[in-house]
Amino acid sequence: MPELPDITVYVERLEALLAAHALQGIRLASPFLLRTVDPPLDSFSGKTVTGVLRRGKRVVFAFAGGSRLALHLMVAGRLHWKAAGAPIPKGNGLMAMDFAGGSLILTESGTKKRAALFAFPDQAALEAKFPVGLEPLEAGLPEFAARLRSENHTLKRALTDPRLFSGIGNSYSDEILHKARLSPVMLTGKMGDAEIAALHAATREVLSYWTEALRAETGDGFPEKVTAFRKGMAVHGRYGQPCPVCGSPVQRIRYAENETNYCPTCQTGGKLLADRALSSLLKKDWPRSLEDMEKMLARHKETIAGG
């Protein structure tokens, strides 16, 4: 799912392309994309874009008169800037927003179509529908600490909860926790001041670094390579590969359609966190540390070699 760095670059490039330009019309290839009925979508035709904003993980188009369109890309939605009147791709194309200078095309890969478009009469209606958490790049340490301690959750859940923090998802939370050297399952209620300060600094550093990196990659073009798995990430999407800090193999916790990646040496004192699927299968044989895992793998290799 595109997160704060990706959405920020989308918004900046769309602002440069669309601000002060009139929307000629919207073409929907999938009626299920639109989740509201008032105001009607055709009422936006002819209105001038006054700005493009980020609200959490949503791209918001502001129009003259105050009306808003909010687009949530979800996991697999992606935006593309094409020539004016470009056709909507068959299969994965959902929508086109047409302007005199080009067309903004929305696609979504996969069979589950989750991307969503919402229309609002004004900013107040948008904010009422989609309240957001603290902006992590704007919050000072006291504000960050207060929000983190407002509820007792695991760090992974707290960082990715949109009611607590705005724009952080599965990918960058892994990177933030690795940078801070903190376990994804540490409870926020048990964090000391030094740990919270480390997390605050890591959050700002990771999100700022990747936002700047994506800006440099995009330049004056349009971000066409938005992905949750990027070269240069420390742990996210790198299961089994060496941690760039200590060389230990990156581990994972799998749940539903997501997984958390972490370094046991850097983040959990060498302890392996229980993977729900594997730990339920192995039960008491589940390795509790990297050393135990290496011994288990060695025994497995010996068994195979012995026939």
> What is the average per-residue pLDDT within 83-92?
97
Percent over 70 (pLDDT), the chain? 89
- At 269 the three-state DSSP class reads coil
pTM for this one?
Answer: 0.89
pLDDT of residue 287: 56
Report whether pLDDT(279) > 90: no
Report whether pLDDT(51) > 60: yes
Q: For the structural domain made of 4-129, what CATH number should be given?
A: 3.20.190.10
Which residues face 54 on adjacent strands?
59
Report whether pLDDT(222) > 70: yes
CA dihedral 120→123→128→133, nearest 10 degrees, is 120
pLDDT of residue 280: 46
Question: What are the structural domain ranges in the chain?
Answer: 4-129, 141-266
pLDDT of residue 289: 52
Report whether pLDDT(297) > 70: no
What letter would DSSP give residue 107? E
State the pLDDT confidence band at 112, using cuts at 50, 70 and 90.
confident
Q: Are 213 and 292 in contact (CB under 8 A)?
A: no
CA dihedral 104→89→215→168, nearest 10 degrees, is 100
Q: Which of 227, 203, 232 is nearest to 9 (CA)?
A: 227
State the pLDDT confidence band at 111, using cuts at 50, 70 and 90.
confident
> What is the average per-residue pLDDT within 69-94?
97
- At 245 the three-state DSSP class reads coil
Q: Are 177 and 267 in contact (CB under 8 A)?
A: yes
Report whether pLDDT(136) > 70: yes
pLDDT of residue 159: 97
pLDDT of residue 120: 98
- At 254 the three-state DSSP class reads strand
Query: What contacts 24+ positions apart, CB below 8 Å, involve 159-165?
Result: 159/203, 161/133, 162/56, 162/57, 162/132, 162/133, 163/131, 163/132, 163/133, 164/133, 164/134, 165/133, 165/134, 165/136
- Tens of pLDDT, residues 141-170: 999 999 999 999 999 999 999 999 999 999
Distance of alpha carbon 207 from alpha carbon 4, whole angstroms:
7
Q: Is the peptide bond before 121 cis (omega within 30 degrees of 0)?
A: no
- Tens of pLDDT, residues 233-254: 999 999 999 999 999 999 999 8
Q: Token match 């299920």: residue?
A: 32
CATH C-level class of 141-266? mainly alpha
- CA 42: distance to chain centroid? 30
> What is the average per-residue pLDDT within 245-270?
92
- Tens of pLDDT, residues 165-194: 999 999 999 999 999 999 999 999 999 999
pLDDT of residue 2: 95
What backbone phi and psi angles, to 5 degrees, belong to 67?
-70, 160
